[in-house]
Amino acid sequence: MKSTAARCLALSIAVSAVLATAGCRSPGDSGVEDKASRRQGGVQVSPMAELRTVARTTEQADSAKVESTTIMGTTLSMTADGALAWVGGLKGTLTITYTGGRLADTMRQLGSTSMEARYLHDAYYARMSDKFAARAGGKHWIKYEYEALADFAGGSGAYLEDQMQNTTPNQSVKLLLASGDVRKVGEEKVRGVATTHYSGTVDVTDLEGRNANLGDDHLADVKRQLKQAGITTEKVDIWVDGRNLLVKKTEKAEMAIGAMSSTAYYSDYGTPVSALKPPAADTADFRDLVHQQSAG
């Protein structure tokens, strides 16, 4: 396997894992109140206040089943299905299927368009095909340490590291809070569940103006992540059930590599989640693979 293929493979798997449940890192609660509001029990409640409740409730739910679809221009399209837990660190297992794009072609050449992904507190593991293992010293699993991703592919690696360690359902809620631009669309059914639909747009150039009470560090965090992905604006929509839990989210943006769209469904909050570290004898570190192939 040529070094360029190894690099492409390493980056593609990392990107895919991130996008399976993509959502920016928690920016914290915003102190801004949207002008549009409703009355509840005689007290005015704004969409921003409602979303802060949703963010807390979803974060405290501990775990959920996840189904998602992601498209990144002509680079990648994929689906993911599994369960994730997020209290005390990210943990879970997803089945990721590459359905189109250049990276799907790369995976097909390596013998598989579907793989198992395991998230553990310190690293993410991807199980590759027998064909890949034959080219990687007989090892089927690739290990990506989160900290190591920051050193890979420059700024995009740092973005991947941040995303992979902060990928939970409530992150889309908090991204919407950071926008300071939230409106309640209305009541809608999602897969038979009664939900409230909220929508907003995150504008990187206007974050300061819309979040006067949001800490400078949090604002800088959000801006850095979006800029590293080449995003200037991102439209976020979420659907919340009667228990203040996220049921569905969509994100759309123009990235440096093309249009990005992501849709995820969340269910069975509190579901048991397990993810075991693969056998060391069957695991290769992606950094070693890249170095070995570069040297060759």
What is the pLDDT, as a whole number, of residue 216?
Answer: 55
- Indicate the pLDDT class of residue 263, thresholds 50, 70 and 90: very high
Packing angle between helix 3-20 and helix 155-164, nearest 10 degrees?
A: 40
Is 101 among the domain residues? yes
- Indicate the pLDDT class of residue 82, thresholds 50, 70 and 90: very high
pLDDT (average), residues 4-26:
41
Q: What is the chain's percent helix, strand, coil content, to nearest 5? A: 35, 35, 30
The segment with the largest mean pLDDT, out of 32-36, 180-184, 196-200, is 196-200
What is the pLDDT, as a whole number, of residue 248?
Answer: 95
What is the arrangement of strands in the sheet containing 182-190, beginning at the earlier edge strand? 182-190, 193-203, 233-240, 246-255, 258-267, 63-72, 76-85, 91-100, 114-119, 123-127, 141-145, 283-285
Is 273 among the domain residues? yes
CA distances from residue 33 to 38, 47, 49, 124, 212 in whole angstroms, order as listed: 12, 8, 7, 38, 11
Is 23 among the domain residues? no
CA distances from residue 110 to 1, 33, 118, 136 in whole angstroms, order as listed: 9, 51, 20, 11
Is 71 among the domain residues? yes
Question: Which of 255, 287, 269, 277 minimizes the C-alpha distance to 22?
Answer: 255
DSSP 146: H
Question: Which of 69, 62, 55 minimizes the C-alpha distance to 83?
Answer: 62
The segment with the largest mean pLDDT, out of 40-49, 123-132, 145-154, 214-223, is 123-132
Dihedral over alpha carbons 157, 200, 249, 194 (to 10 degrees): 170
pLDDT (average), residues 184-196:
96
pLDDT (average), residues 216-233:
59
Is 255 among the domain residues? yes
Is 20 among the domain residues? no
110 or 8: whose pLDDT is higher? 110
pLDDT (average), residues 264-290:
91
* Whole-number percent of the chain with pLDDT over 70: 66
What is the pLDDT, as a whole number, of residue 101?
Answer: 87
The number of helix segments (H) and strand segments (E) in the chain equals: 10, 14
Is 244 among the domain residues? yes
**Is the pLDDT at 210 greater than 80, yes or no?**
no
- Averaged confidence pLDDT in the chain: 74
Is 233 among the domain residues? yes
Q: Which domain range does residue 107 map to? A: 53-295
Q: How many domains does the chain have?
A: 1
**Is the pLDDT at 39 greater than 50, yes or no?**
no
The CATH number linked to 83 is 2.50.20.20
